[in-house]
Amino acid sequence: MDNLLTMEHLNTTEIYELVQRASAFKNGDAKPCCFDDKFVANLFFENSTRTKSSFLVAEQKLGLKLIDFETDTSSVQKGESLYDTCKTLEQVGADVLVIRHPQTNYYDELENLNIPIINAGDGSGQHPTQSLLDIMTIYEEYKTFENLNILICGDIKNSRVAKSNFQSLSALGANVMFSSPESWKDETLEAPYVEIDEVIDSIDIVMLLRVQHERHGDSEIASFETTQYHEQFGLTQQRYNKLNDRAIIMHPAPVNRGVEIEDTLVEAPKSRIFKQMENGMYIRMAIIDYILQMEGATAK
């Protein structure tokens, strides 16, 4: 694994290895390498709280030196291309780049870089590190993925989380279903669409997605009604009560309380939303550690 761009770049063996490495860091069973001679740059062209902060903590725990980069004060504001920005950072000494960008498949124009790229989210494309932290959270709970029934609810068409998780969880043996308004379905993904109330009592994991208003047109935003959406596609208290005893709730966050999920359920006993955030830092440690160690082995 030279880069981590999509979940398609990982086979199931590599997924399990990353999850086990992250778990070892979390449980204190492994000490991370200290990359105090390595430099990392985080290029976030979209706003982020969880992903950016967990990468920052992970990088500092690994001893990496951070190259200060902010889009608002960079030459991006003068029209510099993404490629030229990344090539510049490579030339001044960056050893790895973490990039979030609103352009889907932005990494296609970065093929001539000679340092690894970790995709922290590309438009409506993929979000592989989110998928891996979700996988870690599910594995902690069930120790398997075979025949788990997973329902992903919400804005499927615009969600990079839905795409990454459908590919990875299906490959690991889970049964993935979607529930979504008609206009937000993604017919390129071969998962069945179901009515949430028809399956709520038989699923193991219900994963709620944030409504991606920033990717919707003005007419969609104007016609969106939060109460109606919550009643049709959100996790209400009534639906929560129908979940089986071992079922868990997940959400990539940020959470729109009272829209995708009832406010009081965000920290309910079945919720693993904040556990996902904790696991995100450890899985990102594992990814960076793995990539830089591979780079070192190649260099030798």
For 205-251, the pLDDT digits (tens) are: 999 998 865 655 555 555 568 899 999 999 999 999 999 999 999 99
pLDDT tens, position by position, 38-66? 999 999 999 899 999 999 999 999 999 99
pLDDT score for 216: 53
Confidence of residue 297 (pLDDT cuts 50, 70, 90): very low
Edge-to-edge strands, sheet with 149-153 = 175-179, 149-153, 205-208, 248-250
Annotated binding-site residues for L-aspartate read 78, 160, 210
Domain count for the chain:
2
Same domain (yes/no): 268, 132: yes
Same domain (yes/no): 62, 86: yes
Same domain (yes/no): 116, 251: no
Residue 100 backbone phi and psi in degrees, to 5: -115, 130
pLDDT tens, position by position, 250-294? 999 999 999 999 999 999 999 999 999 999 999 999 999 999 998
How far is Cα 248 from Cα 230, in angstroms, rounded to an integer? 19
Q: What is the mean pLDDT of residues 69-83?
A: 88
Residue 250 backbone phi and psi in degrees, to 5: -135, 155
DSSP character for 235?
A: B
Task: Tell me if 160 sits within 8 A of 121, measured CB to CB.
Answer: yes
Same domain (yes/no): 121, 134: no
Annotated binding-site residues for carbamoyl phosphate read 50-51, 100, 127, 130, 253-254
Whether omega for the bond prior to residue 269 falls within 30 degrees of 0, making it cis, is no
What pTM did the predictor assign?
0.93
Same domain (yes/no): 285, 222: no
Looking up residue 92, the CATH number of its domain turns out to be 3.40.50.1370
Residue 223 located in a structural domain: yes
Residue with tokens 């990079």: 160
Same domain (yes/no): 27, 115: yes
Residue 107 located in a structural domain: yes
Domain range for 144 is 128-273
Same domain (yes/no): 138, 67: no
Tell me how far CA of residue 131 lies from CA of 70, 163, 166, in angstroms: 26, 9, 9
Residue 2 located in a structural domain: no
pLDDT score for 30: 87
Residue 12 located in a structural domain: yes
Same domain (yes/no): 75, 16: yes
Residue with tokens 């043996």: 173
pLDDT score for 183: 85
pLDDT score for 37: 94
Give the H or E element holding residue 237. helix 237-242
pLDDT tens, position by position, 109-164? 999 999 999 999 999 889 999 999 999 999 999 999 999 999 999 989 888 899 99
Which of left, alpha, beta for 268 (phi over 0: left; psi -120 to 50: alpha)? Answer: beta
pLDDT score for 194: 97
Same domain (yes/no): 138, 243: yes
Instruction: Kindly report the number of other CB atoms within 10 A of residue 140's CB atom.
Output: 15
pLDDT tens, position by position, 152-198? 999 898 888 999 999 999 999 999 999 999 988 998 899 999 999 99
Annotated binding-site residues read 50-51, 78, 100, 127, 130, 160, 210, 253-254
Same domain (yes/no): 172, 240: yes
